[in-house]
Homo-oligomer: A and B are copies of this chain.
Amino acid sequence: MERTKRPVQTSVKDKQLIEKRRGEMIRGSVQLFKQKGFHRTTTREIAKAAGFSIGTLYEYIRTKEDVLYLVCDSIYDQVKKRLEQIDLEQGTLESLKLGISYYFHVIDEMQDEVLVMYQEAKSLSKDALPYVLQKEVEMTGMFETLIQRCVDRGVIEMSEAYVHLLAQNIFVQGQMWGFRRWMLQKSFTLEEYIFLQTDLLLEGIKGYQKNSALN
């Protein structure tokens, strides 16, 4: 599952060094991409922000696009790693609520990164895109599991299609907080947003459940 890494060519051999340098590179790039977007950022700026020369930059990547891939991949990884803290298996409404709340907090904390990822990922080549989309599938899969366990334990009753769609809705509503901040964050605090969205989500679930109980 975690095997999905697209290799990025290096001429440096020391694995640890690669990890370190790429970390520096990614950190710098996120800041730049946030400010000016991928296309308006030059490789020279990336190198400078990373703290090394243009030559060194190219020891660790092959093309500028590799940087974008590395950045997106890294952000996905960070988000995913944090989401792995969620206890997906408990199968209670409480754990579902907690999971959603935790996810929204993560998005809030990583707002800049998430924004970059969603605005720039589409610039990835046909070659690299599948790798990051795969990560999205995995993440929405987590929400599906989270909900499905509630179904499994009889806490809620819901068809697979609804579970799938709900997971997507949760996922997108998280992102929404990040990329529509200019609109949402004027109206709501994070906690308000979480409270309201969770409420709507769960009422939707409960309503659905009641209806189907009638049949």
Report A's interface with B, CB cutoff 8 A. Answer: 37, 39, 119, 122-123, 133, 136-137, 140, 161-162, 164-166, 168-169, 172-173, 176, 180, 182-184, 187-188, 192-193, 196-197, 199-208, 211
How far is it, in angstroms, between the C-alpha of A40 and the C-alpha of B173 when the chains are bound? 30
Interfacial chain B residues near A206, Cβ < 8 Å: 203, 207
Task: Point out the residue from B123, B161, B193, B199 that lies within 8 Å of A208, measured CB to CB.
Answer: B199
Other than the given A137-B183, A200-B205, A204-B207, 4 more pairs (CB < 8 A) read A119-B122, A136-B183, A165-B200, A168-B180
Pick the most buried of A136, A165, A169, A176: most chain B CB atoms within 10 A of its CB: A165
Nearest Cβ distance between residue A163 and chain B, in whole angstroms? 11
Interfacial chain B residues near A165, Cβ < 8 Å: 187-188, 193, 196-197, 200
User: Quick check: A161 and B137 within 8 Å, CB to CB?
Assistant: no
For A38, give the chain B residue with the smallest CB separation: B39
How far is it, in angstroms, between the C-alpha of A203 and the C-alpha of B205 when the chains are bound? 7
Number of copies: 4
Nearest Cβ distance between residue A79 and chain B, in whole angstroms? 17
User: Quick check: B200 and A204 within 8 Å, CB to CB?
Assistant: yes
Nearest Cβ distance between residue A156 and chain B, in whole angstroms? 12
Nearest Cβ distance between residue A138 and chain B, in whole angstroms? 12
Task: Point out the residue from B39, B166, B187 that lies within 8 Å of A161, measured CB to CB.
Answer: B187
Interfacial chain B residues near A162, Cβ < 8 Å: 196, 200
Interfacial chain B residues near A199, Cβ < 8 Å: 204, 208
Nearest Cβ distance between residue A112 and chain B, in whole angstroms? 13
Interfacial chain B residues near A208, Cβ < 8 Å: 199-200, 203
Interfacial chain B residues near A205, Cβ < 8 Å: 200, 203
How far is it, in angstroms, between the C-alpha of A167 and the C-alpha of B165 when the chains are bound? 18
For A193, give the chain B residue with the smallest CB separation: B165
How far is it, in angstroms, between the C-alpha of A110 and the C-alpha of B184 when the chains are bound? 25
User: Quick check: B196 and A207 within 8 Å, CB to CB?
Assistant: no
Residue pairs across A and B with Cβ atoms less than 8 A apart, 13 shown, are A37-B123, A39-B123, A136-B183, A161-B187, A165-B188, A165-B200, A168-B183, A169-B173, A172-B172, A172-B176, A200-B208, A202-B207, A203-B207
